[in-house]
Amino acid sequence: MPNYSYKASDAAGRIHTGLKFANNISDLRNYLKQTGHYLLGVRQGGGFALLEALKETQPGGLSRRQLIELCNNIGVMLDAGVPLVTALEEIREDAESRYVKKVLGSVLDNLNDGDTLKNAVSKRPADFSNLFVNLVGIGEETGHLSQVFLNCAEYYKRIDQLIKNVRKAMLYPFFVLCALISTTLIFLTMVFPPLFQLLEEFKVELPMVTRIVMGVSNALKLYWWLILAGLIVFAILIVVLRKYKPTRYWFDWAELHIPVLKRVFIQVHMTFFLRYLALMLTSGVDILRGLKLSGESLNNSVVMEKMADCRERITEGSTLSNAFRRIDFIPNMVLRMVSVGETSGRLPEQMEYMANIYNDELDRRLATALAMLEPVMVVTMAALALTLIMGVLLPLYNMVSTISSGIGAGGM
């Protein structure tokens, strides 16, 4: 059965494009007519059909920015009294991304089949996280769906800004490292080998640093494919081990215990955790369910295990602050603020306040680390450049001196 790429208009004159399997164009026209559309153009298979299909796919699902815009628009429309289905249809119609249109179309189809919004979004796990699905369910149960969407939009904005700040801080060191590696490889594989050949022809005595540089250069020229394959295998092995549950636990444990970086990792995790838990408590989620979903949203098996222990102790009658005291990576300031929040009955506000403090402190820490990293990288680059240059210049100087001495002796 051939696949047709078509363009059609509906009763309101709006243009729609899509893909459809049909026996022939006549069957396709009848199908569109039954759905209230008029066929304007059609093409069978080919690159146009492939392009149309690609426009409706998006690796990784909805982006964070798309999710923020979607939550904000739905929340505003629901708050204004627009029915849910109408709001989704309007947002789908105005969406520029074909993938967003596809996602909303799928959700609308499920709603029209009688599903709740929670069930409808749960059928697209690539686009909507388990945390989001549960928050939507709470909003439906409590009748505060608009507020849940507005809260989600606000919290996702803050999370998005945090991630952008971390990536921005890592961008400069990444590019400097790439430039350093690229320059070193060019010198070792293209610039230095002819000079090394010249030194060997003149049988110049080579110092240790030159022999090391020559050895590295020869290894790169002869075994570059083996080194590249080893790096690829190593990268694949890391990815596989990160997904394998027993070894993944140790990777997650290392994040929280690396001497230099553990404070940054802990602050990132705590910022995410406090924001998510505050969001859920504000939306009406109970503390036990909130701890479970918040722990899962961090994607760290050590944190998830600790949150499971917290839920168990709270079930046994402990307070949240006392349960947190058993977790070694939770700072004392968080424990004090949680205790104050429990006493005053303003736990979500205290968690949000702490998340803001950690966010600001993380920004300052990243800025300080970047400022300290710049001179370290400059010194490292200078040391590497000096080693490479001295490895070549020293024997060249000796060779020139030997030749000069020989010429001088011959002249006498």
Q: One digit per residue, pLDDT tens: the chain, 412 residues? A: 666 777 777 776 666 777 777 777 777 778 888 887 777 777 665 444 444 444 555 556 788 888 999 999 999 999 889 999 999 999 988 888 888 888 898 899 888 888 899 999 988 888 888 778 888 888 888 788 888 898 888 878 877 887 887 788 778 788 888 888 888 888 888 888 888 887 777 777 777 888 888 888 888 888 889 989 999 999 999 888 888 877 888 888 887 887 767 777 887 788 888 888 887 788 777 888 888 877 777 777 888 888 888 888 888 888 888 888 888 778 888 888 888 888 888 888 888 888 888 888 877 877 777 777 778 888 888 888 888 777 777 777 777 766 666 555 555 4
Q: For residues 318 and 310, what is the distance between their CA atoms, to the nearest angstrom? A: 9
Q: In 3-state terms, what secondary structure has residue 36?
A: coil
Q: What is the DSSP secondary-structure string of 330-395?
A: S-HHHHHHHHHHHHHT-HHHHHHHHHHHHHHHHHHHHHHHHHHHHHHHHHHHHHHHHHHHHHHHHH
Q: For residues 309 and 321, what is the distance between their CA atoms, to the nearest angstrom? A: 13
For the stretch 41-61, what's the b/e string if a residue is b when 16 or more beta carbons lie within 10 angstroms of its beta carbon?
ebeeeeeebeebeeebebeee
Q: Which amino acid is residue 400, in one-letter code?
A: V
Structure token pair of residue 58:
């998006």
What is the 8-class DSSP label of residue 245?
Answer: H
Q: In 3-state terms, what secondary structure has residue 113?
A: coil
Question: Which of 112, 7, 127 lies closest to 57 in space, CA to CA?
Answer: 127
Q: In 3-state terms, what secondary structure has residue 40?
A: strand
Tokens 């949000």: give the residue: 352
Starting at the edge strand that comes first in sequence, how are the strands of the sheet with 15-21 ordered? Answer: 15-21, 3-9, 38-44
Question: Which of 400, 208, 45, 47 lies closest to 408 in space, CA to CA?
Answer: 400
Structure token pair of residue 219:
């290894």
Q: In terms of CATH, what superfamily is 254-363?
A: Type II secretion system (T2SS), domain F (1.20.81.30)
Question: Which of 7, 30, 33 lies closest to 18 in space, CA to CA?
Answer: 7
Residues found in the chain: 412
pTM of the model: 0.63
Non-local CB neighbours of 14 within 8 Å, separated by 6+ positions = 93
Question: Which of 267, 278, 272, 276 lies closest to 352 in space, CA to CA?
Answer: 278
Tokens 């499920």: give the residue: 110
Tokens 């243009």: give the residue: 15
Q: How buried is 316 (Cβ within 10 angstroms: 0-12 exposed, 13-18 middle, 19+ buried)?
A: exposed
What is the 8-class DSSP label of residue 138?
Answer: H
Are the C-beta atoms of 288 and 315 separated by less than 8 Å?
yes
Are the C-beta atoms of 351 and 342 separated by less than 8 Å?
no
